[in-house]
Chain A
Amino acid sequence: MTAAASARAEAAPAPSAPGTLLDVQGLKTWFPVMGGVFRKTMGHVKAVNDVSLSMGKGEVLSVVGESGCGKSTLGFSILGLTPPTEGRLSLAGHPIDIRSPSAWNPFRKDFQIIFQDPYTSLNPRHTVFEMIAEPMRVHGVCASRDLPEMVAGLLRKVGLSPDYMHRFPHAFSGGQRQRIGIARAIGLRPKLIVCDEVVAALDVSVQAQIIQLLLDLKSELGLSLLFISHDLSLVKAISDRVLVMYLGKIVEEAHASDLFVQPRHPYTAALLESIPTLDRGRRPKLLGGEIPSPVNLPPGCAFAGRCPRVQDRCRKETPVLFPADRSSAACFYPVGLPPVP
């Protein structure tokens, strides 16, 4: 083992398992809050605050939480679009120097993103062909003369007619635009796609189409999906594993098959209770209060102020992710289990 390799091994106490596509350890993304006459840094918005996760090939991992919990920032930070402040990140087994914005460049081809809003994420002055072909040209996916054929194939793959190739985005509906966004991402044959609220702006009937398309492409191309969403019902339908975020931290990590049967963190339980269903006899249980400001977080558990199971200990000590049966939960008093000693 070379010195550099051994140093790297020491720096990473939890080496990622073989086949790990994405490994994130202690990732923090803080935004400074300026104030006062001299615009001094008064504090930080801790959008992502010490998050660790890893993803394997072909996996669908969902990150859920309410607005402002940091789920989108997490996705952006992993791709270097919002460079993280601190932490370790390795893509396809290669550690990334998070201080260097160019460190992500060799991995752009393998790690792609589909954005939330199909109305602002497509350039209105570019035709569909230009938008899909540009990244393929930049990354040298194929010879220029083959591009029209490749783009036509991609459009067919996402369910659009290649005849639309030379139209501009304004000619398309929301669902069709999102298909163009998907074609642009899969054109580079990526290994992982970050899907940031990709169906939030779409109608229910079209939403299901886009989800089906993503899952079909996933099996066909062996993709991994990091699916960022606020919609727990949707997450239930598509995920293998789920991370629940609250105020920049992961509060629960579980397999989808466990999370929706037996949530362990009181916040997850409260989220599930709040969702209306077709069951007319059921009344949602209300979670009081609102998410506190992520600038000045109180000591202890960030959820303590709204938690129905809160105890004195929760206001003094900060819980980390403890194992909770088959899941993990950042809670001293997990639902349905004895307290953490």
Chain B
Amino acid sequence: MYISGMDGANQPLLEVEELSIGFEGDQGVTAITDKVSFTIRPGEAYGLVGESGCGKSVTCLSLLKLLPVPGGRVLSGRILFRGRDILKMNPEELRNLRGGEIGMIFQEPGAALNPLWPIRRQLLEAFHYHDYKGDPQQRIRTLLDRVGIADPDRILSAYPHQLSGGMLQRVMIAMALSLNPALLIADEPTTALDVTVQAQIMELIEDLRREFNASVLMVTHNLNLIAQYADRVGVMYAGRLVEESPVEDFLDRTLHPYSAGLLAALPRLDRESGAASLRPIPGQVPRPADYLEGCRFRDRCPHAFEACVAKPDLFPMGSSHTVACFLYGPGGSRTGRESLDPASTGTGGPDRRSGARRPAP
């Protein structure tokens, strides 16, 4: 066991293997995610992107065994953190992991913090459950300073309702970083925030990642954030991972029709104005009960053909890029050397990453 840890930086920090999560309902268990696999290496920022209901948040929660009880449960698969299976850990081991080796930034800071406790008590809580050689009081001040809070005394004695969303998000980040976690999970860390605060928070996470060589799992629906802050991206649709790639390569060669559709539907500052610049994906995100057999995107996909009634596996498409679509791989009609045009009748591919940038003011 110890020997395998000697491999250094290439040893994955987190391995999610064929993870299926389900929720119990009136009609039995409904599977939310279907055999999702990905790995995160030390220091890497992994972006999990998808629309609401695709299973990205439950995947995150399951990593710390935080699925809602009763109802949510892992149906199959393994989650290995430094080679240890999180799903088999006892409560003591889990407690060491949560807030210790893995820090989590929740989606809504207003809902995740305890409204009856002042910020100081909430920040100090982690130090009760973990070994820390130092002065926790000193540490929380350093952390608050690090997340850009100028007046720690006011913040520490305040209750959550007295602070703005941006402040609460910073407190959450400080909390998640208290014990220098090796992995930071950020579930839609900036969704509720204004763009100016979003930029501050994202830059902060990026700085801290570099400084402490932590890994980040970033869950978001915003492809712009992925492009700017992630090293690798996994695109989820209806509970499945449909494309995974290093971000650079993903932007150069967007292969899955859903990924290409998402990019074409995204309002963009670097694109010409006018309604024609937005190309919607027809239809809507299905509910788990309505998932199709075979490829789950085929009813919205302009490229769908006969083969799509079967379930596509993730085909390797070079430079650790994989895509679950029958357009590629054996028998597929496309080579995958360039991005897919999201609309079959469209005129040329989307003008992605065009040089038309705003001049700096």
- A interface residue numbers (CB < 8 A to B): 66-67, 173, 175-176, 203-209, 211-212, 215, 230-234, 236-239, 256-257, 260-263, 266, 269-280, 282-287, 290, 335-336
A260 and B273 within 8 A (CB): yes
| A278 & B278 in contact (Cβ 8 Å cutoff) | no
- Tell me which residues from 268 to 308 in chain B have a Cβ below 8 Å from any Cβ of chain A: 268-271, 273-275, 277-282, 284-285
CB of B284 within 8 A of CB of A234, answer no
The residue from A233, A237, A286 contacting B203, defined by CB atoms under 8 A apart = A286
Residues on B with C-beta less than 8 A from A263 are 361
* Residues in B neighbouring A230, C-beta threshold 8 A: 194-195
**Which partner residue on chain B sits nearest A69 by CB separation?**
B194
Let me know if A205 and B285 touch, CB within 8 A.
Answer: yes
B10 within 8 A of A: no
Query: In whole angstroms, how far apart are the Cα atoms of A208 and B198 in the complex?
Result: 22
- Tell me which of A212, A274, A275, A336 contacts B280 (CB under 8 A): A212
Query: What are 18 A-B pairs at a CB distance below 8 A?
Result: A205-B281, A206-B284, A207-B265, A208-B267, A208-B278, A208-B279, A232-B195, A236-B273, A237-B273, A260-B269, A260-B358, A275-B195, A276-B225, A276-B229, A277-B227, A278-B270, A284-B199, A287-B200
Cα distance A93–B183 when bound, in Å?
Answer: 61
Alpha-carbon distance A230/B198, docked complex (angstroms) = 13
Q: Which residues of B contact A67 (CB under 8 A)?
A: 194
Is B251 positioned at the interface, with any CB of A under 8 Å from its CB? yes
Assess whether A209 is in contact with B282, with CB atoms less than 8 Å apart.
Answer: yes
Could you tell me if A282 and B51 are in contact, using CB atoms closer than 8 angstroms? no
| A residues less than 8 Å from B285 (CB atoms) | 173, 203, 205-206
Q: B361 and A269: CB pair below 8 A?
A: yes
CA distance A277 to B203 in the complex (A): 14
Residues of B within 8 A of A66 (CB): 194-196
Instruction: Write the nearest CB–CB distance from A256 to chain B, whole angstroms.
Output: 6
Query: Is A256 touching B273 in the complex (CB atoms < 8 A)?
Result: yes
Proximity bits, B328-361, A CB within 8 Å = 1, else 0:
0000000000000000000000001100011101
CB distance from B180 to the nearest CB of A (A): 24
Is B280's CB under 8 angstroms from A278's CB? no
**B190-221 interface mask toward A, CB cutoff 8 Å, 1 = contact, 0 = none?**
00001111111011000000000000000001
Is B122's beta carbon under 8 Å from chain A?
Answer: no
What separation, in Å, do the CA atoms of A328 and B241 have in the docked complex? 48
Complex contact B199–A274 (CB within 8 A): yes
B227 and A276 contacting across the interface, CB-CB below 8 Å = yes
A233 touches B197 (CB 8 A): no
Ordered nearest first, which 4 A-B pairs have the shortest CB separation?
Answer: A208-B280, A205-B281, A233-B267, A203-B51
Q: Are B353 and A276 in contact (CB under 8 A)?
A: no
With CB as the reference atom, state the residue of chain A lying closest to B190: A276
Q: How many B residues, CB 8 Å from partner?
A: 52
Nearest residue (CB) in B for A262 is B359
Residue numbers in B under 8 Å from A208 (CB-CB): 265, 267, 278-281
Residue B223 CB within 8 A of the other chain: yes
Q: Given A286-B199, A336-B361, is A272 in contact with B280 using a C-beta cutoff of 8 Å?
A: no
Using a Cβ cutoff of 8 Å, how many contacts connect chains A and B? 156
A261 to B360, CA, bound (A): 10
Is B140 part of the contact surface with A, judged by Cβ < 8 Å? no
Question: Given A269-B361, A282-B228, is A277 in contact with B279 using a C-beta cutoff of 8 Å?
Answer: no
Residues of B within 8 A of A271 (CB): 195-196
Is B166 interfacial (CB-CB < 8 Å)? yes
Interface positions of B from 217 to 257, Cβ below 8 Å from A: 221-225, 227-229, 247-248, 251
Q: A204-B51, A274-B198, A290-B164 are known contacts. Are A211 and B221 too (CB-CB below 8 A)?
A: no
Q: Are B280 and A209 in contact (CB under 8 A)?
A: yes
Q: Which chain A residues lie closer than 8 Å to B142 at the CB level?
A: none
Smallest beta-carbon distance A294→chain B, Å: 13
Shortest A125–chain B CB gap in Å is 23
Q: Which B residues are CB-close (under 8 A) to A275?
A: 195, 199, 224, 269
Q: Besides the contacts A212-B278, A271-B195, A282-B357, what 9 more A-B pairs have beta carbons closer than 8 Å?
A: A173-B285, A204-B262, A206-B280, A208-B265, A232-B195, A232-B269, A257-B273, A275-B269, A280-B248
CA of A286 to CA of B197, assembled, Å: 8
Distance, CA A234 to CA B267, complexed state (A): 5
Measured between alpha carbons, how far is A136 from B164 in the docked complex, in Å?
42
Do B269 and A233 touch (CB < 8 A)?
A: yes
| Cα–Cα, bound, A215→B352 (Å) | 24
Q: Within the assembled complex, what's the spacing in Å between the Cα atoms of A230 and B199? A: 15
Which residues of chain A are near B310, meaning CB under 8 Å? none
**With a CB–CB cut-off of 8 A, which chain B residues contact A239?**
273
Which chain A positions have C-beta within 8 A of B198?
A: 274, 276
**A336→B265 CA distance, assembly (Å):** 33
Chain B residues positioned under 8 Å from A206 (CB to CB): 280, 284-285
CA distance A266 to B361 in the complex (A): 9
Mask for B7-46, Cβ within 8 A of A = 1, else 0? 0000000000000000000000000000000000000000
How distant is the Cα of A278 from the Cα of B352 in the complex, in angstroms?
8
CB distance from A289 to the nearest CB of B (A): 9
Nearest CB of chain B from residue A158's CB, rounded to whole Å:
14
Contacts of A236 in B (CB 8 A): 267, 269, 273
Contact assessment for B270 and A290 in the assembled complex, using a CB-CB cutoff below 8 Å: no
The residue on A at minimum CB distance from B356 is: A261
Q: Are A280 and B251 in contact (CB-based, < 8 A)?
A: yes
Which residues from B are CB-within-8-Å of A175? 284
Q: How far is the CB of B247 from chain A (nearest CB, A)?
A: 7
The answer to whether B162 has its CB under 8 Å from any CB of chain A is no
Is B268 within 8 A of A278, CB to CB?
A: yes
Contact of B52 with A by CB under 8 A: yes
Measured CB to CB, the closest approach of chain B to A94, in angstroms, equals 31
Do residues A203 and B195 form an inter-chain contact, with CB atoms below 8 A?
A: no
Residues of B within 8 A of A270 (CB): 196
- Pick the residue among A232, A237, A280, A282 that contacts B277 (CB under 8 A): A237
Complex Cα gap A204–B267 (Å)? 8
A79 to B285, CA, bound (A): 34
Q: Is B261 an interface residue (CB 8 A)?
A: yes
Which of A209, A256, A261 is the one whose CB lies under 8 Å from B358? A261
- Per the bound structure, the CA–CA distance linking A248 and B227 in Å amounts to 33
Instruction: Give, as a whole number of angstroms, the nearest-CB distance from B284 to chain A.
Output: 5
